Structure 1
Amino acid sequence: MNIKTLLFISSLVLGIISSSSVLADDKEDYKALMDMATSDTMVMMPMRDGVRLATDVYRPKNAVGKLPTILLKTPYNENKLQRGSLRMAKLAVKNGYAFVIQNERGRYYSEGEWQILGHPRTDGYDTLSWIEEQEWSSGKVGTFGCSSSAEWQLGLAAQNHPAHTAMVPAAAGAGIGKVGRYTEQGNWYKGGVHQTLFSIWLYSVQQNLAPRFPDSLTQKQLQRLRKSYDLSAEMPEVDWKEQTKKLPLESWFENINGNDGPFLEMVKREPGDPEWLEGGLYHDTEDFGVPALWLNSWYDVSQGPNLDLFNHVTKNASDPEVRDNQYMVIAPNLHCGFWRIPKYDDLIVGERNMGRVKMDPDALIIEWFDYWMKDAKSDFKKNNSKVKYFTMGANEWQTADNWPPKSSKPVTLYLSSAGEANSLYGDGKLQLTKSSKSEQDNYQYDPMNPVQALGGSVCCNSGASPGGSYDQRAIEARQDVLVYSSEPLDKDMEVTGHIDITLYVSSDAKDTDFTVKLVDVDPDGVAYNVDDTIQRARYREGYKTPVFMQKGEVYELNFSPLSTSNLFKAGHRIRLEVSSSKFPQYMRNLNTGGNNYDEIKAVVANNSIHHANQYQSRIVLPVKTVE
């Protein structure tokens, strides 16, 4: 079928497709937007190398004077304004902004080859320049987005474009390479362990096998085409709980007829590989040039790096105005769940009730942009502290001028047992005093029977493992999970900030993983997970050069910090779980010392946690004191 035939069919179909094919639930909002906006769709915006990016522009009707702009850039299908993008378009236009939405290079009708995060330093910069030059533009652009639409903003902020006036990155962790104490390389790794969410996510977004149309098509022809051909590949459904069990890891896409794309290259790339510096990730070796309102969540992937990035910019940005104008909100929701917090009911995150979480993200975002991009500044600074965070357990919002609050002081709890901390029914303890008994806890980690993931900081894994907070007692009943609990607290203890964990470990395997999970146990025994992390032993001395374990040797293992604000109430216990897997959230270590991604055989590891004499395994809690 040639292009003329395609265009003819498109013109016929156009007559029966209404409201730009928006979803039924969005039709009312779309009509409201069209009533108040003029639209210029399928503008093929040229980049410096001649590649053109598909862009839509919405402006308030009868607008007087130059307009500030809110820009949303995305790898997802925006041929139809829907859900979050439609909501933001309507919000922007209603409040006197032009709204520009653009598909990343190589996505849908945007030309070129796709790269994760969409070339923020070049395509992002050129897009800002294009907006700045439009006759309707005030020259002030604010960038907005959640998840992928937030993550590209970080690399762009390092370029300090003169039009980039303000930004709202929400749930932006996968845009961070290395920052502070975290080397996650865009959430691909945690503690050197592959987070399977990224492979699962790639299955749905890297399928760039759609047809391409000639570059010579006019804007009107492209508008017609887009209404009937959205170029969105519909991938077959996959049971990822089952798929993640299959070995080797590198064969996952082959088994389900997926397009390999960057998947095969990335599963082989180690966390310290210099290739991570070549893409769109932001690293803490860069400057940062834009005032930002950060929206983060306690049960979202990469909340720790997000908090460290906020601190990095606050302390290190070369421009004092940028340093002094970083604001952050930390809510108790899941990934990008700010707009799903109930207005009139309690928020349930997994199984844990957070109470009434009052938050209006849209009002907050507009107030932020109004302050920076309008002549009549809003009262954002009068109405907001530098940091606003939700304390779970107390189920209330608090404010601070720094993160963590200066009132948080370190309290160390030491692991202890008589050598039988295995399971919920063992004798593991968390205590204020060091242990003098030369005891250790032993367990067997079998990669073919890994500890299952239940809750935590999870997103985007198509249901392979749930996110949020759940009762962990079924997990804690396993013999390969060590459980250390404090005595019931005699008074409330608020833990707010970064939590440091040091374990002394040994194994008869060359390499293995160690997991830790912080848990809040109520008087009835219900054990809600607060946060968790993992560390691959071969990377204990850094991510550039793996160092393998020797049987009989004890090694100090320092984990990437946990992060939370949680009130452990009087009568509750503080608990730490230690094991070697949380699957399929984290890819299991096969314990061979090999590549892991190309292996099908596993080694059972006999692992030990030491907590006496010179080996004081411990957790350091940032306890907020009353000033």
Structure 2
Amino acid sequence: MNRLILAAVIAVLPLAGVASPTIAQTPPTSAPTGVTKPAEVWAEMRDGVRLAANVYLPAGSGPWPVVVTRTPYLKDGPFYADPRSAAGVDGPQLYNDHGYVFIVQDVRGRGHSQGHYSPFSDDIADGYDTIEWAAAQSWSNGKIGITGASAMGITANLAAIGAPPHLLAAFTVVSPLDRSESSTYTGGVLRQADMERWLGFVGLDAGGTLASPGFRPTSDVFSDRSEMSQGLKYVRIPMYHVGGWYDAFDEGTLEKFVWLQNRGAEGARGQQKLLMTPSGHGPLAGDLAYPGADRTEVAGQQELRWFDHWLKGADNGVMDEPPVSYFMMASARRGAASDKNRFVPSGDWPPAAHEVRYYPSPDGGLSLDAPTVRQSKISYRFDPAAPVATVGGSTIWSDFGIGPMDQRKIPIRADYLRFKTEPLARDVSIAGPISVDLYAATDGADTDFMAKLVDVYPDGYEALVLDAPIRAQYRQGRDPALLKMMTPGVPERMRIDLWDTALTFEKGHRIELVITSSNSPRFAVNPNTGDPTAKPRVAVNTIYLDRDHPTALVLPLVYLEGASR
């Protein structure tokens, strides 16, 4: 079973200067040591709701430092059945063996905990109260850390925003920043398969939840107050951020690190770490593999070092190392990975880069030569009843494959435009944000445009690198005042944010840009009407490729040994 089944909705009210909770002094009177029989204990929150937790105590006598994780996936469920690991991060046994108390708590309204479950809406205050409760127990020395992957990473992030006094460090894995872009909507388009399935997985009605305030695609007071980006200024601790280039929350991991490392409050600024691996939210599908770069294994080597330094004061050199370690991907066919695949240290993210633009042409080419013709365009019919199928990508669920699957599985079709370079004469290495500067029109009020970045191998394998959409009415932003329907037939400039990656397109490979208008069921299909209640219609969409409308793939070129323009 995939231990990184994810959570993706943040619905929280950032709190500054939160009041001290009422501490329920309920330590286990005869808690067993080791991991074979954890004690269930209860922590009372400030509103009187009691949350249940399993407490794993080390052998011997305390008090000890404590590591907490808070989960909607049930503390007594399958994620925590193996005491050696817990949902993608180190588990009770390893922490106990190294002299830590380990606590796994059911979040409000889940498992044995009281209260009503509303995804992530209570986790700032509840995280604060839980940390301060743990610090007051007889087996605790008052030095608390928090850890978690995916949903548990979100609850860890939210506890850090609450800034409980006894929380000294956090270690989070594959967790998003904001609901609007990182998990629920990308480019204004609902991440339909991920969100609807996850809401059902935690027992919620997807339709009703997504229609409620704070879950709609537009930005408003309900969504803004519940976005993590609005609360980062309250974080005052060192945090270790772990992500993957094919992870559904790739961008959130990077943005949290960059903001806290460079703009964070005292205690956070300059004290962050970032590890980016060639991984997805779950196991990668397709024919690529990156030996020696398994996220769980690599991150596991750092997790205890991190807490040993910040909770025990160990002089283990973790803060003497570069703050960023990112994996530079390269050719990686299973069993034949290039030696150009490696981890690269960096002082920050993104590394210094030179922006280059690759321009698509009507004949299917992609080159560094900007168009000079006065008029050039390609039109296609987009029928929402016959969308392009999802094949891989940064999705949560493995049903359609995760990561760099072969895009040749998508047949030749008029609404799926492939543009390729000639085989590269030299390596091209990129690291940083990727985007498409798109000039496009439609014959109606609204439609979607989708872009893909693909690494085409010499044998034709089309390895998906990144993909993302833009809903035309949100091309200027998600604020209601910025929403604007399209004028039929009039080209508009819009930016498709493909998020970040680090990859060397090796000599002999081709760089491919794909433009289409659907990717189903990963993203909700646009009915092309601008009115969700209207009957879907076939749209005629047009991509412009001329000197006044130079659609371009924008890449951050980095200069590493063996790679050049």
TM-score, shorter chain, exceeding 0.5: yes
Q: Give the 3-state SS of the residue equivalent to 1:559 in structure 2.
A: strand
2:33–2:58 Cα contact (<8 Å) kept:
no
Give 1:166 shift: 0.7
Q: Give the 3-state SS of the residue equivalent to 1:592 in structure 2.
A: coil
Instruction: Label 1:266 to 1:355 Cα distance change in 2 as closer, same or farther (>3 A).
Output: farther
Give 1:77 shift: 1.8
Structure number with larger C-alpha Rg: 1
Equivalent AA in structure 2 for residue 166 of structure 1: A
Within the candidate set 395, 404, 420, 1:485 is matched to 420
> Is residue 2:218 matched to residue 1:271?
yes
Deviates more, 1:134-143 or 1:350-359: 350-359
1:544 paired residue number: 479
How do 1:351-390 and structure 2 match up within 5 A? Answer: 351-357=287-293, 359-382=297-320, 384-390=321-327
1:454–1:472 Cα contact (<8 Å) kept:
yes
Equivalent AA in structure 1 for residue 288 of structure 2: R
Give 1:284 shift: 6.1
1:334–1:349 Cα contact (<8 Å) kept:
no
1:227 paired residue number: none
2:436–2:553 Cα contact (<8 Å) kept:
yes
Q: Give the 3-state SS of the residue equivalent to 2:394 in structure 1.
A: coil
Instruction: Label 1:260 to 1:272 Cα distance change in 2 as closer, same or farther (>3 A).
Output: closer
Equivalent AA in structure 2 for residue 514 of structure 1: F
> Is residue 2:188 matched to residue 1:176?
no
Deviates more, 1:83-92 or 1:190-199: 83-92
2:473–2:484 Cα contact (<8 Å) kept:
yes
Give 1:282 shift: 4.3
1:445 paired residue number: 382
2:33–2:57 Cα contact (<8 Å) kept:
no
2:195 paired residue number: 198
Q: Give the 3-state SS of the residue equivalent to 1:298 in structure 2.
A: strand
1:591–1:603 Cα contact (<8 Å) kept:
yes
Give 1:156 shift: 2.1
Deviates more, 1:71-80 or 1:155-164: 155-164
Equivalent AA in structure 1 for residue 183 of structure 2: N
1:517–1:529 Cα contact (<8 Å) kept:
yes
Q: Distance in 1 between matches of 2:556 and 2:411?
A: 25
Q: Give the 3-state SS of the residue equivalent to 2:247 in structure 1.
A: coil
Deviates more, 1:86-95 or 1:267-276: 267-276
How do 1:113-262 and structure 2 match up within 5 A? Answer: 113-117=116-120, 119-173=122-176, 175-177=177-179, 183-184=180-181, 187-196=183-192, 197-206=194-203, 262=209
Q: Distance in 2 between matches of 1:41 and 1:261?
A: 37
Give 1:378 shift: 2.5
Q: Distance in 2 between matches of 1:60 and 1:285?
A: 33
Q: Distance in 1 between matches of 2:57 and 2:442?
A: 63
The C-alpha deviation readout for 1:449-468, integer Å capped at 9, x for no partner, is 001110110104x72x3211
What residue ranges of structure 2 are gaps of 5+ in the alignment?
A: 1-30, 331-339
2:127–2:162 Cα contact (<8 Å) kept:
no
2:9 paired residue number: none
Instruction: Label 1:445 to 1:187 Cα distance change in 2 as closer, same or farther (>3 A).
Output: same
> Is residue 2:435 matched to residue 1:500?
yes
1:170–1:336 Cα contact (<8 Å) kept:
no
1:284–1:312 Cα contact (<8 Å) kept:
no
Equivalent AA in structure 2 for residue 563 of structure 1: D
1:118–1:280 Cα contact (<8 Å) kept:
no
Q: Distance in 1 between matches of 2:91 and 2:232?
A: 32
Q: Distance in 2 between matches of 1:100 and 1:170?
A: 17
Within the candidate set 328, 340, 356, 1:411 is matched to 356
The C-alpha deviation readout for 1:91-148, integer Å capped at 9, x for no partner, is 1101100111100001121111112125122111011111111122121111111110
2:456–2:462 Cα contact (<8 Å) kept:
yes
Within the candidate set 346, 353, 357, 1:400 is matched to 346
Q: Give the 3-state SS of the residue equivalent to 1:149 in structure 2.
A: helix
> Is residue 2:366 matched to residue 1:430?
yes
Instruction: Label 1:521 to 1:553 Cα distance change in 2 as closer, same or farther (>3 A).
Output: same
1:189–1:271 Cα contact (<8 Å) kept:
no
The C-alpha deviation readout for 1:465-508, integer Å capped at 9, x for no partner, is 32111111232622111111112111111111111221000010
Q: Give the 3-state SS of the residue equivalent to 1:571 in structure 2.
A: coil
1:296 paired residue number: 243
Q: Give the 3-state SS of the residue equivalent to 2:325 in structure 1.
A: strand
1:104–1:118 Cα contact (<8 Å) kept:
no
Equivalent AA in structure 2 for residue 459 of structure 1: I
Q: Distance in 1 between matches of 2:304 and 2:547?
A: 56
Q: Distance in 2 between matches of 1:555 and 1:543?
A: 17
Instruction: Label 1:356 to 1:60 Cα distance change in 2 as closer, same or farther (>3 A).
Output: closer
2:359–2:371 Cα contact (<8 Å) kept:
yes
Within the candidate set 543, 556, 573, 2:510 is matched to 573
2:232–2:260 Cα contact (<8 Å) kept:
no
How do 1:335-350 and structure 2 match up within 5 A? Answer: 335=281, 349-350=285-286
Q: Distance in 1 between matches of 2:215 and 2:323?
A: 40
Q: Distance in 1 between matches of 2:155 and 2:372?
A: 51
Within the candidate set 536, 547, 550, 1:613 is matched to 547
- How big is the alpha-carbon RMSD for the aligned residues of Structure 1 and Structure 2? 2.3
Aligned pairs, how many? 510
Q: Give the 3-state SS of the residue equivalent to 2:234 in structure 1.
A: coil
Q: Give the 3-state SS of the residue equivalent to 1:550 in structure 2.
A: coil
Give 1:356 shift: 3.8
Q: Distance in 1 between matches of 2:286 and 2:68?
A: 33
Give 1:524 shift: 1.7
Instruction: Label 1:357 to 1:268 Cα distance change in 2 as closer, same or farther (>3 A).
Output: closer
Instruction: Label 1:527 to 1:323 Cα distance change in 2 as closer, same or farther (>3 A).
Output: same
2:58 paired residue number: 60
Q: Give the 3-state SS of the residue equivalent to 2:502 in structure 1.
A: strand
How do 1:4-43 and structure 2 match up within 5 A? Answer: 36-37=34-35, 41-43=39-41
2:86 paired residue number: 85
1:563 paired residue number: 500
Q: Give the 3-state SS of the residue equivalent to 1:560 in structure 2.
A: strand
> Is residue 2:43 matched to residue 1:45?
yes
Equivalent AA in structure 1 for residue 313 of structure 2: D
1:37–1:61 Cα contact (<8 Å) kept:
no
Q: Distance in 2 between matches of 1:510 and 1:126?
A: 49
Give 1:278 shift: 4.4
Q: Give the 3-state SS of the residue equivalent to 2:261 in structure 1.
A: helix
2:557 paired residue number: 623
What residue ranges of structure 1 are gaps of 5+ in the alignment?
A: 1-32, 178-182, 208-252, 254-258, 338-347, 418-426
Q: Give the 3-state SS of the residue equivalent to 1:276 in structure 2.
A: helix
Instruction: Label 1:366 to 1:453 Cα distance change in 2 as closer, same or farther (>3 A).
Output: same
1:333 paired residue number: 279
Equivalent AA in structure 1 for residue 377 of structure 2: Q
The C-alpha deviation readout for 1:349-393, integer Å capped at 9, x for no partner, is 4322323426433231001110100033323234x4211111221
Within the candidate set 536, 553, 559, 1:602 is matched to 536
Give 1:602 shift: 1.0
Instruction: Label 1:67 to 1:285 Cα distance change in 2 as closer, same or farther (>3 A).
Output: closer
Q: Give the 3-state SS of the residue equivalent to 2:497 in structure 1.
A: coil
